[in-house]
């Protein structure tokens, strides 16, 4: 019987080296960081707070991803306003 190759250890090694390799940083202002990843057919964007995922989504273009992240960051910063939000985006 054929067994699938064990690629999980290889993928884990690559992820531990740099979990955000190949991602475009769109926002980086403590405690939030947002990334976009080009998947060829769409852009996947993720927002982290202190390295924990808080929101993710997808858009057809990079500009649409930036707009979505700006919208979510406005909502997230309503309770704790951050004057650097507008400057970062």
pLDDT at 59 over 90: yes
pLDDT at 16 over 70: no
Mean pLDDT of the chain: 78
Q: Which of 15, 18, 46 is nearest to 32 (CA)?
A: 46
Confidence of residue 81 (pLDDT cuts 50, 70, 90): low
Pairing state of beta strands 43-49 and 24-29? unpaired
Mean pLDDT of 35-44: 96
């Amino acid at each position: 019987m054929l067994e699938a190759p064990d690629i999980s250890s290889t993928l884990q090694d690559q992820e531990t080296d740099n979990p955000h390799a190949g991602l475009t940083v769109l926002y980086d202002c403590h405690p939030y960081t947002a990334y976009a990843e080009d998947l060829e057919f769409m852009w996947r964007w993720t927002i982290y707070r202190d390295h924990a995922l808080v929101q993710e989504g997808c858009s057809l273009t990079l500009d649409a991803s930036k707009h979505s992240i700006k919208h979510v960051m406005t909502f997230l910063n309503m309770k704790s306003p951050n004057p650097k939000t507008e400057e970062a985006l």
